[in-house]
Amino acid sequence: MVDGALIDKLKRAASRRSVLTAGLAGAAALTGLAGASRPARADTLAEVKKRGELVCATEMEFAPFDFLVNKVYTGVDRDLIDEVGKDLGVKVSYLDLPWTSVLPGLEARKFDFVIAPVTITAERLKRYSFTVPIAEATVALMKRKNDSSITKPEDIAGKTVGAQKGTAQLAQLQEFAKTLPKPVNVKEYVDNNQAYADLAAGRTDAAVGSYPNLAYAAAQRADAFAMVMPPFGKPTYFSWVGRLGDEDRSLTDAISASLVKMQDDGRMAAIQKKWFGAASPLPKTVPAPQV
């Protein structure tokens, strides 16, 4: 990670176009030199293999994909990326960051790759290289179990709904709300756990998120929560992302190849059954975005 002292040091060294190599190859971008001339970077996959380590970032507040159990990182993404590491022959290291810092950190070259589930959208495809999907991401709603006033998605008209900041699910909720007869009061949260806590406490009427995340949360707290069916969003998928430059795409392509291999040899299905209760096929190429 980059602290204030290190950023100051980089600023003082900017005239020399210095570039750190321990996860900060893009330090120039942090000091306002993104457009300055600099030597071509080495192939990222080759660098990772030479280093023997793949440094990944996520937010560990997104069960069942990324969360902590007794301070140990666990979840769908952990299981999948550990298998990828085996295929690539490298150790995998994990950084726990707030969601709003994950994609900016990738662009600033603070780490190699993002394994937080990222919804494939048309705008994001312009900025990042996506792997093949790792899971479905269709947006849905969760309510308190005893709330009989919400039986379908349209019933959130005039109500308060919680959503995580900076997510595609939040954007889809805002678009869906425009079609309803009464405005929806959208309350934004740093992470989903805060949204779930406010829902349980009655401070909101529903929470929005991807179907697999909400279904997992509802199953874990069946006494408190229930899903609002059907999901209201367009069919979408979660993927992992890397940087868009040619030197970085090799890493994204290698990770995609590993994920496809895992679909073919049964490892993907085993992980899906472990966390979702059932296996389902996923596209083996990056699908055209629906949002």
Same domain, 110 and 244: yes
Position 21 confidence tier, pLDDT thresholds 50, 70, 90: very low
Asked if residue 132 is part of any domain, the answer here is: yes
Contact 118, 238 (CB under 8 A): yes
Position 40 confidence tier, pLDDT thresholds 50, 70, 90: low
Asked if residue 155 is part of any domain, the answer here is: yes
How is residue 219 annotated by DSSP?
Answer: H
For 266, counting Cβ atoms within 10 Å of its Cβ (0-12 exposed, 13-18 middle, 19+ buried), the class is exposed
Higher model confidence: residue 216 or residue 88?
A: 88
Same domain, 96 and 211: no
pLDDT, tens digit (0-9, with 9 covering 90-100), for 52-108: 999 999 999 988 999 999 999 999 999 999 999 999 999 999 999 999 999 999 999
Average pLDDT over residues 216-239: 90
Rg value, the chain, Cα = 20
Asked if residue 288 is part of any domain, the answer here is: no
Same domain, 122 and 243: yes
Determine the pLDDT at residue 17: 33
Determine the pLDDT at residue 194: 94
Asked if residue 35 is part of any domain, the answer here is: yes
Determine the pLDDT at residue 116: 96
pLDDT, tens digit (0-9, with 9 covering 90-100), for 136-175: 888 999 999 999 999 999 999 999 999 999 888 999 999 9
Determine the pLDDT at residue 35: 39
Same domain, 123 and 263: yes
Determine the pLDDT at residue 252: 97
Determine the pLDDT at residue 242: 97
pLDDT, tens digit (0-9, with 9 covering 90-100), for 232-261: 888 889 999 999 988 899 999 999 999 999
Average pLDDT over residues 21-30: 34
How is residue 273 annotated by DSSP?
Answer: H
3-state secondary structure 7-40: HHHHHHCHHHCCCCCCCCCCHHHHCCCCCCCCCC
Domain that holds residue 35: 1-39
Asked if residue 283 is part of any domain, the answer here is: no
pTM of the model: 0.71
Tokens of 105: 């950190």
Higher model confidence: residue 105 or residue 2?
A: 105
Asked if residue 119 is part of any domain, the answer here is: yes
Determine the pLDDT at residue 278: 76
Same domain, 79 and 195: no
Asked if residue 233 is part of any domain, the answer here is: no
Is residue 31 pLDDT above 60, yes or no? no
Other residues' Cβ atoms within 10 Å of the Cβ of residue 190:
15
pLDDT, tens digit (0-9, with 9 covering 90-100), for 190-200: 988 899 999 99
